[in-house]
Structure 1
Amino acid sequence: MGSNSLQWIHFLRTFSTLAVIILHCTISYGNEFNIKNTSWLTASFINSNMRFCVPVFLMLSGVLLLGKKYSLREFIQKRMSKILLPFLFWSIIYFFMIFPIRRTVYQVGLEFFKAMQGGTCYHLWYIYMIIGVYLFVPIINKWIQNANKYEILFYLLIWFVVLMIDLPVINRLFTRVDWRYFSGFLGYLILGYYLNKNIHVTKNRWFFALIFIIGNLLTFILTYIASRENGEHNKTYYSYLTPNVIMSAIGIFLFFKDRVFKENLFTKIIYFISQYSFWNLSLSRFYNDGSSKNWRCYQHRFCCF
């Protein structure tokens, strides 16, 4: 499995990868809305328990990218290039699978350009999001290196409050203050970094498991209530940027943080899935020895979907 200090990251990444797959498998059933239908309720319940996946991927990115010393050039070469090339490859594949083929090269090129504006397949939304987040990482990383935990916590508290703007009833309380600087998925990277640096879990891990379960139940119950009132499937509380999903992500993140498991067949399977996941290629784990020119890299590579 490699370094025990990194084992928990393999576990979280593997479970998040499986959660993405399960989540997508339930979408078709979830879209067939019927508040009294057992299939819809089951799909909604399963979906509600899988929403932690994307937030956890981003939190792991914060653990592995923030607080490190690297130049802008190093970051662009080692991170963005490993995202953009596979992204372009799969975008082309999906384009020719989904979009009608035109007769001329010009028509194909024009249609491909239009398709790339929004994504040649719906689930590629994440790549557009992560590219935007990664472009800001070198900037926010400079702040992280010089900020104390209270300054980071100040950002996270405002970020959490701002995420409530889109929630029913609560959105009526907000003013016209420009909150955009504290919104979006970037907060998850900072949250992952903060929890990793400042929360040391030695016991009572089941408390965090309880937080995870409560967050999942809130997602399911709030989705059920909102859907029943609207007469259609209301996905407001499925959003990755809602307090209930944040609660789930924090719970499972801290439950596994720094946890060491006994080496056996199960851990080997976990490592295998983690090692050969697609996003394993886009983010390497580097440690700085104290010199900007002296880098050592663990044999494992990490990334977040």
Structure 2
Amino acid sequence: MSFSSLNSRNINLDLARSFAICSIVLCHCTEFTYQLTQESWSTSSTLSQYVRTILFTLGRLGVPIFLMLSGFLLLQRHKMNNFDDYKVFIKRKWFPLLICSQVWIIIYYIYNLFFNVEIWSFKNLISQLMFFSLPRVPHWWYIPMIIGIYLLIPLIKYLNDKLSSKFIIAWFSLSFLTVIILPALKLNLKVDLSYLGDCYVFCVLLGYITLLIHDKKIELKRILLQIKSEIIKDHIVNPIYQKLGLQYRRNTEKNPDRYGLSQRNQKLAYMLGGG
């Protein structure tokens, strides 16, 4: 995995960020252009179905990429050795994000009072400011999510610095199982693993795993070669040896002198053949 840089700036990260921005714009344009309902889908032409599916799929890549970038960059730049480091992160990163969201909640509330069906209620405004309810804008779901992610990032960094990157790898592996593998296989695990986080936490962890690979703290090539060798061994080499060993066993039982097997090779043939 190679990362280009210009004046200590990672160009590939800028490209990923640009692609994510374009994806999100594409996603919203697709949602406003097409009615993404079952009725609209049924009455659309095949070409229209293909177009909206491709555009919407590309558009939905934006948020995961942004979360991966958050995991890649924030976990790289900030140390988390003690509680003072945690307070610095909250003060510099989390608190400004919270204040900005509060300002925009008030702006959206005033806008909805004049242009949308919104009745003035001090209780509703406080509820939105406290994140017990959301403003009536479709994209606001992202703000509470990213505020929660920014609270979690220091914990991930602390566990990595104080324990080991292997702990994060184990967390990522379990998250990969619950977020990707089990839903893909349509399996409903009865063990409660919700504490591992949802797909958003998975994307942040994936960004951090990418950072570890980039810093060569995880030897990806060695891991892939090991997995490949295990697959070859278990599914190709061992079955062939077992088949040959079983054939040798049958033949030597019938006529051992003909095949000229030594006593040692006969024992090996019995082992490989399941004897």
SS of alignment partner, residue 187 of structure 2: helix
Provide, for residues 165-204 of structure 1, a one-character-per-residue CA deviation record: whole Å limited to 9, x for no partner: 88376234x12x2201222222222211111221479xxx
Task: Indicate yes or no: 2:38 matched with 1:24.
Answer: no
SS of alignment partner, residue 31 of structure 1: coil
The corresponding residue for 2:91 is: 77
Query: Which structure has more helix as a fraction of its residues?
Result: 2
Select 1:146's aligned residue among 162, 178, 186.
162
Of the structure 1 ranges 127-136 and 112-121, higher mean CA displacement relative to structure 2 is found in: 112-121
SS of alignment partner, residue 79 of structure 2: coil
Report deviation, 1:23: 0.3
The corresponding residue for 2:123 is: 110
Report deviation, 1:22: 0.9
Report deviation, 1:118: 2.8
The corresponding residue for 1:92 is: 106
Which one-letter code corresponds to 2:126 in the other structure?
Answer: F
Q: CA separation in 2, counterparts of 1:165 and 1:198?
A: 22
Which one-letter code corresponds to 1:69 in the other structure?
Answer: K
SS of alignment partner, residue 41 of structure 2: coil
Task: Indicate yes or no: 2:12 matched with 1:8.
Answer: yes
Written as runs of structure 1 = structure 2, the 5 A alignment for 1:59-78 is 59-67=68-76, 68-70=78-80, 71-78=85-92
Q: Is the 8 A contact 1:30 1:40 kept in 2?
A: no
Q: CA separation in 2, counterparts of 1:39 and 1:113?
A: 43
Q: Is the 8 A contact 2:112 2:118 kept in 1?
A: no
Q: CA separation in 2, counterparts of 1:132 and 1:6?
A: 27
Written as runs of structure 1 = structure 2, the 5 A alignment for 1:214-233 is none
The corresponding residue for 1:125 is: 141
Which one-letter code corresponds to 1:112 in the other structure?
Answer: L
Q: Is the 8 A contact 1:144 1:152 kept in 2?
A: yes
Cα 1:97–1:40 shift into 2, 3 Å: farther
Cα 1:111–1:74 shift into 2, 3 Å: same
Q: CA separation in 2, counterparts of 1:52 and 1:133?
A: 18
Which one-letter code corresponds to 2:211 in the other structure?
Answer: N
Unmatched segments (≥5 aa) in structure 2:
217-275
Task: Indicate yes or no: 2:205 matched with 1:190.
Answer: yes
Which one-letter code corresponds to 2:75 in the other structure?
Answer: L
The corresponding residue for 1:58 is: 67
Task: Indicate yes or no: 2:53 matched with 1:49.
Answer: no
Provide, for residues 70-121 of structure 1, a one-character-per-residue CA deviation record: whole Å limited to 9, x for no partner: 512211111112211221222222222224454xxxx532232344523212
Which one-letter code corresponds to 2:57 in the other structure?
Answer: S
The corresponding residue for 1:269 is: none
Q: Is the 8 A contact 2:41 2:49 kept in 1?
A: yes
RMSD of aligned alpha carbons: 2.6
Q: CA separation in 2, counterparts of 1:168 and 1:96?
A: 43
Q: CA separation in 1, counterparts of 2:58 and 2:118?
A: 39
Q: Is the 8 A contact 1:30 1:44 kept in 2?
A: no
Written as runs of structure 1 = structure 2, the 5 A alignment for 1:156-171 is 156-164=172-180, 167=183, 170-171=186-187
Q: CA separation in 1, counterparts of 2:140 and 2:133?
A: 9
Unmatched segments (≥5 aa) in structure 1:
202-305
Q: Percent identity?
A: 25
Cα 1:138–1:200 shift into 2, 3 Å: closer
SS of alignment partner, residue 143 of structure 1: helix
Q: Is the 8 A contact 1:22 1:50 kept in 2?
A: yes
- If asked which structure has higher relative contact order (CA below 8 Å, sep 6+), I would say 1
The corresponding residue for 2:41 is: 34
Q: CA separation in 2, counterparts of 1:195 and 1:3?
A: 22
Q: Is the 8 A contact 1:72 1:138 kept in 2?
A: yes
Instruction: Give the TM-score, by structure 1 length.
Output: 0.57
Q: CA separation in 2, counterparts of 1:183 and 1:72?
A: 20
Q: Is the 8 A contact 1:66 1:144 kept in 2?
A: no
